[in-house]
Amino acid sequence: MSEERSDMSEDEDGGGGVEQKERWGPSQGGGGCGSAKSRGGVWTDPPPPFSDQVLENVLENVLQFLVCRRDRNAASLVCRSWCRAEAQTRGELFIGNCYAVSPRRATDRFRRVRSVVLKGKPRFADFSLVPLGWGAHFSPWASAMAAAYPWLERICLKRMSIADDDLSLLAFSFPFFKDLTLICCDGFGTHGLAVIAEKCRHLRVLDLIEAYLEEEEEDQVVDWVSKFPQTTTSLETLGFDCVVSTVNFEALEALVARSPALRQLRVNHHVTVDQLFRLMVRAPQLTHLGTGSFGPPAALALQGDVMEHEADLVSAFAASKSIISLSGFRDVASQYLPAIYPVCANLTTLNCSFAEITADELKPVIHHCHNLQKFWVLDTVRDEGLQAVAATCKDLQELRVFPLNATEDSEGFVSDVGLAAISQGCRRLRSILYFCQQMTNKAVITMSKNCQELVVFRLCIMGRHLPDHLTKEPMDEGFGAIVMNCKKLTRLAVSGLLTDKAFAYIGKYGKSIRTLSVAFAGDSDVGLRYVLEGCPKLQKLEIRDSPFGDPALLSGIHQYYNMRFLWMNSCKLSIRGCNDVAQRLPRLVVEVIRDRPEADDETVEKLYMYRSLAGPRNDAPPFVKIL
């Protein structure tokens, strides 16, 4: 489970990214360092005099030790000389919004980059709210980087559309390429994977996290696993649990056998337990394992070999002294769970959120997991299961409870009881994502008092507009307590019946909040206004189906250049308000996304706006109007 890459799933510090270093303000022109910079962002400064050159060299030697993005951004603002030196020594480039800056401008400024992190679509694209074909194409970035960064080693992409051709370009352009991580990306298929496997001879990491591979016709699927070099590989991480097509198991086994550096392996659900056993035998040094299917293989069940394979599995886990992270558990059969007992005491991460297990099935497992820090689970374990977690996992830092039935009127198996129990037992909790149908203000307030380390609080009461199920009051007080008591909170997602009062609390107390997600909440424009006026650190604001209109939108004019983006759909915005904002903030790209052609031109169904040095993008599809 590679969500350990905290820089991708959590907020990054300091609102970083290239755009932060250019000076922002409605009255400013190009900003950035280098007064002689032309419009296209090409450096045209005359070379500095000799002594200054020496100073810059010294500075470069010092600045190379700066790793943190925020520090680098600050250093680059000191003066032109520092800006140049910093640009020369920045090794990792983080672009939080691929449309905030043009690839050319980024590669012109930062010349010696070895690692690139690039994010594309807004998060609500995950929930089908952004129409297909909207954008975030990797191609222009691939081309620019191929030309500018021959020594590039690492690429990490999130919510980008990547074509197989792009992957080919990567494979052929970067001879030292080591690390490819794709999170929630789409557009490519097994062809692309095959080229990467074949051509990137120094590949260490190939990590596909919830990628949506293109549907391929049966006969078009490529056996990419066979394409890895036949010699010993340098593979350390191989994650393909999201790949829907089967892989050639013999090739996979042979690959694992000749990859002595392999530490993290996540296979897809086509890999059966007996196959898993064989892989584990080949790689006893694994630290992170994602199982495939964790139930009796259909074929074996017929032969009556099930018992033998269970014993094999047990011995495999007993022999795996290094495992600290487990995930997978698709199609789980509870009688197989005890096999993992030998490794439980060492586990820091356990993701069984694809396993439909009950409280009774969970308890014996969790009982052993004293060192667990990250736990993802399905709500089928109920409050009782969560109570067991609270009793044992004193070091728990991150908890995610997903719903088995992700529908509004589903039964909901966990409630305020589970939340309160967790808050009692897991005082060091930093991050929580909790789906439920029943919640009370009291439980949320309790959590706010018990878990002072909370950085991320995301509560999703699945039924829309549901109040406190005991008092029938809005959930304002609960969320209010969270923002008031949890001083380290940077990310908040609200739900349930909420009035403007909740937003007043957020505006008053949420001084560190950087990401806020709102759905079906609030009464009037005042709610949004509280947030825009009260939360100075706000970077990402995503809102759906809430009664906020033009006046609320306009109240944030002072804030939008400080933010990465604002997303609003199904609110009360009109084209007039959006035009107003677009006119007043020339460096803001204001996209109005149309859902249906017959939708009238007055109301704005979907708004996505973001600061950008690149201006309106040239790849917008016909249903996107840039104001």
Partner 1 sequence: MTLTANTDRLLFSATPHSSVEFPARLREMEDVKGSDGLGDTELRLGLPGTSTATRSAKRALPEGDEESHDELRRTSAAKAQVVGWPPIRSYRKNSFPARKAEAEAEAEAEAAAGLYVKVSMDGAPYLRKIDLSVYKGYKELRESLNHMFQCFSLGELSRREGGSGSEYAITYEDKDGDLMLVGDVPWEMFISSCKRLRIMKGYEARGLESRKH
* DSSP class of 11: P
Give me the amino acid identity at 437. Answer: Q
CB of 214 vs partner 1, minimal distance in Å: 4
Kindly list the distances between the CA atom of residue 544 and the CA atoms of 385, 493, 527, 601, in Å, as whole numbers in the listed order. Answer: 32, 12, 13, 19
CA 392 to mean position of chain CA atoms = 28
CB of 15 vs partner 1, minimal distance in Å: 23
CB of 509 vs partner 1, minimal distance in Å: 9
- CB nearer to partner 1: give 421 or 493: 493
- CB nearer to partner 1: give 45 or 126: 126
The H or E element that residue 506 is part of is helix 500-509
Check if the beta carbon of residue 531 is closer than 8 Å to that of residue 541: yes
CA 370, CA 352: separation in Å to the nearest integer? 16
Which residues have C-beta within 8 Å of that of residue 99, sequence separation ≥ 6?
135, 136, 589, 610, 612, 614, 617
- CB nearer to partner 1: give 429 or 519: 519
Dig out the tokens for 587 from the structure.
């460096």
Give the three-state DSSP class for 171: helix
- CB nearer to partner 1: give 60 or 210: 210
Identify the CA nearest to 48 among candidates 88, 16, 9: 88
- CB nearer to partner 1: give 15 or 474: 474
CB of 224 vs partner 1, minimal distance in Å: 12
Give the three-state DSSP class for 455: coil
- CB nearer to partner 1: give 129 or 180: 129
- CB nearer to partner 1: give 83 or 247: 247
Identify the CA nearest to 290 among candidates 326, 254, 315, 237: 326
Dig out the tokens for 81 from the structure.
């000389």
CA 183, CA 164: separation in Å to the nearest integer? 16
Identify the CA nearest to 561 among candidates 2, 205, 27: 27
CA 515, CA 595: separation in Å to the nearest integer? 25
CB of 307 vs partner 1, minimal distance in Å: 24
Handedness of CA 58, 62, 64, 70 (dihedral sign): negative
CB of 48 vs partner 1, minimal distance in Å: 42
Give the three-state DSSP class for 68: coil
Dig out the tokens for 331 from the structure.
């199609």
- CB nearer to partner 1: give 282 or 540: 540
- CB nearer to partner 1: give 278 or 544: 544
CB of 623 vs partner 1, minimal distance in Å: 5
Dig out the tokens for 433 from the structure.
């994502």
CB of 129 vs partner 1, minimal distance in Å: 5
CB of 132 vs partner 1, minimal distance in Å: 6
